[in-house]
Structures are given as structure tokens and as C-alpha cells.
Amino acid sequence: MWTYTSVILLMVIYELMVVPLLEILPEENLIFIAFVLGGICCAQKTRYNAVQASQEIVPGLELGEGSGNMCNVCKRRVPSKACHCRVCQTCVFRREYHCKWLDCCIGLTNLKWYLACLLLSSAAFMYGSNLTMTTICHPYQFMGPILLPDDCSDVYSQLDTAICFVSSVYSLSIALVMLWHLAYHLWLMYLGTTTYERRLYKSENHYSQGLLENIRYLLCCKSPYFSYLTSSQYSYQR
């Protein structure tokens, strides 16, 4: 609810209070809306893949048969790199963590969509914040057509400009947090591990596959999860 409320309120303030000031070009507004819609679509795809992965039942594994590790909670045979999430009530392969902002687990099945969501959403929040600040503040030309806010000392002279300024600061804060998460996950990909594995094994890197292997797993190529099922003579259907 916090995620939905933040996005809706920021969009309402931007479209109803910032755009009518006629300082923003139509193409700039279209680029901003494209970033917002792209982030929302990737977020929904992240949730959808997480729900689909939790509902899929692999024949033979749900009864504790075959090879693999036995999960003490859901009583199923799972790959060695799967971890049980007590919130989702299922085992997630190469689990990162349970994302509270999207209310779903981040794992191999939806990691690429989650990274795309972080990238597009952070771009939307940062771009919207810049458009808002350069509209209500005194801007200066940084480089070519790029404008940055210069003097914002008089933004609290009116209520509407004060609301716009606070929303832009809030939007910029969210963008910085998302960029930090994006950089952190890219760093984990470089190390060849996940958030859960790094917490579990501290500085040791037991599951490092290398950067190229991690990128291959991320871009919908054959993952070690499917290799595990093939070796166990089970078929996995998406």
C-alpha cells in the first residue's frame, strides 16, 4: 500500500500541480510517463513470475521423492540453492530476499524483471524530481539541454510550490535507494552469489559461477534449476 500510495500521490502532484505551470515540454512529460509505465509493468511482471513460481508443482518433488535436499517446512525435495520463504510459504530457487515493497520473493525466476523495475523506476523518480525542481526553482543550464535546480530559497512562499518541492525531495530519496539496490545486485552478480548466500556464508563464496554464468542464468537461458530437474529425470513445465 505504501508503494501504490507513493506512486499515485507523486503522479497526481506532478500532473496536476507541476505540468500546469507550463515549464515542462510535452516530450519531457512523455519520457517521464514512459519511465513510470515501464517501471510499473516490470514490477507487475516481477510479482506475476513470483506467484507463478510458487504455484507451480514439479511432479515427484512435492511428495519428497527424488534427489535433492528436503525442506523441513514444506516437506519437499528442493535444489541445494533453494531457500524457503516463510512469508510466501514456498521454496525459492536462488532466493535474494522477500521484497516488502512488492510483497513477493526475488529469485532467479523474476530477478531480471526486478532489476529492470529498479532501473526504470529510479529513472522515473529521478527524472520527475529534476523536472519538478527545475520548474519551481531557478534552474541553470548544466550541459546542453540538461537543466539543474540552482536557487530554491523561495519555494515555501506558496503552498503549491512547497508541496511540489517536498514531493520532489521524496522522489529523489526513493530514486537514490533504488539505485543503491540496483548497484548492490549487480555487484552480487559480479561475485557470483546472492543476498541469501552472502548472509549465510559471510565472506565465503560457495556458489560462485562467474559473471558470465550469472548473466546467462539471468537472461532466461538454461538455469541450474532445470539442470537439476533433468538429472532427476523430472520434466519441468513453465
User: pLDDT tens for residues 169-212?
Assistant: 999 999 999 999 999 999 888 887 888 777 766 544 444 455 55
φ/ψ (deg, to 5) at 217: -65, -35
66 pLDDT higher than 60? no
- Which uninterrupted H or E stretch holds 129? helix 111-136
How many Å is the maximal CA-CA distance in the chain? 71
- pLDDT tens, residue by residue, 121-132: 999 999 999 999
DSSP single-letter state for residue 5: H
Mean pLDDT of 156-175: 92
6 pLDDT higher than 50? yes
Write down the residue that cell numbers 523561495 correspond to. 154
pLDDT at residue 157 in the model: 84
Mean pLDDT of 134-148: 79
143 pLDDT higher than 70? yes
pLDDT at residue 237 in the model: 34
pLDDT at residue 147 in the model: 75
Report CA torsion sign: 19, 25, 28, 30. positive
| Spatial separation of the C-alpha atoms in residues 231 and 238, rounded to whole Å | 18
End-to-end CA distance of the chain: 30
Write down the residue that cell numbers 529425470 correspond to. 233
Note the pTM of the prediction, 2 decimals: 0.76
Count of other CB atoms within 10 angstroms of residue 40? 16
